[in-house]
Amino acid sequence: MIFDTHAHYDDRAFDEDRDALLNALHSEGNVDKIVNIGASMRGCADTVKLSGAYDFIYGAVGVHPEDIENTNEAFMSQLAAWTEDSKIVAIGEIGLDYHYEEPKPALQKKWFARQMQLARELSLPIVVHSRDAAKDTIDLMRTEHAGDIGGVIHCYSYTKESAAAFLDMGFFFGIGGVLTFKNGRKLKETVEYLPLESIVVETDCPYLAPVPFRGRRNQSDYISYVLDVLAELKGISREDAERITYENAHRLYRIPM
């Protein structure tokens, strides 16, 4: 069974057919569980609603680094309040993104650190977004003793060397559609290096659809194509790739099997 560990079904790309799509994905037996990830306060509120509306959907709440310019302590209090719902299983998507000049790195670091502290207070894992910011992400996570918090590096895109640092902290690695891309050699090398027990699969839908759907809207059952490549790279059966990543996802989010 497929466990999509990182999706954004609150995205407007699903406004026209969200309910029909989600019910079909689950009822057809292709997708067993989904964690919908909040990235803004609006997205978090919608995530809480989604997790309440569907038995198979769980949620994470957090403020993405691209959305932290207006963040304040009232936001942190609201995030904490949302986690009183048992279907909210993580703090995320949080982290650092230096792809654009704004928000400034200092502000991103402030709220990444604060949200890690919140996760520690709430005994929840974190979902980490990191783009063009490997060193600062690793350094700040070490400073905040993120290994004691636990979580996943979403949409992993760095080198094997950086992967070793995250492994030392006991983090999982979210692997998605990029693994199927012809230009995804760096990720393939990293996946070959990673222990299977540290890998979970994700879509980041509606983004990053795998081949043969690249460039189209992504959805959770497309993870099947990611699992095909994962099994080939690790020299295991397709069934074992699905089973192991499914079990890993439950361990990551501390959801009973």
Give 142-182 pLDDT, tens digit per residue: 999 999 999 999 999 999 999 999 999 999 999 999 999 99
Topology, domain 2-253? TIM Barrel (3.20.20)
Output the furthest CA–CA distance in the chain (Å, rounded): 49
Query: Per-residue pLDDT averaged across 81-103, rounded?
Result: 97
- Vertex 55: Cα angle to 49 and 57 (nearest 5): 60
Whole-number Å distance between alpha carbons of 226 and 37 = 20
225 confidence band (pLDDT: 50, 70, 90): very high
Q: What pLDDT is attached to residue 30?
A: 87
Round the average pLDDT of the chain to a whole number and report it.
Answer: 97
Residues 6+ apart with CB under 8 A from 124: 83, 88, 89, 90, 91, 149
The stretches of 66-222 forming alpha helices (DSSP H) are 73-82, 105-122, 134-143, 160-168, 185-193
Over 90: is that where the pLDDT of 129 sits? yes
Whole-number Å distance between alpha carbons of 165 and 23 = 39
Q: What pLDDT is attached to residue 103?
A: 96
Over 90: is that where the pLDDT of 52 sits? yes
Q: Which of 55, 2, 58 is nearest to 28 (CA)?
A: 2
Q: What pLDDT is attached to residue 29?
A: 82
Over 90: is that where the pLDDT of 13 sits? yes
58 confidence band (pLDDT: 50, 70, 90): very high
Query: Per-residue pLDDT averaged across 249-253, rounded?
Result: 98
Over 90: is that where the pLDDT of 36 sits? yes
What burial class does residue 35 get, using C-beta atoms within 10 Å of its C-beta: 0-12 exposed, 13-18 middle, 19+ buried? buried
Asked if residues 127 and 151 have their Cβ atoms less than 8 Å apart, the reply is yes
Predicted structure pTM score: 0.97
Locate the domains of the chain by residue range: 2-253
Q: What pLDDT is attached to residue 152?
A: 98
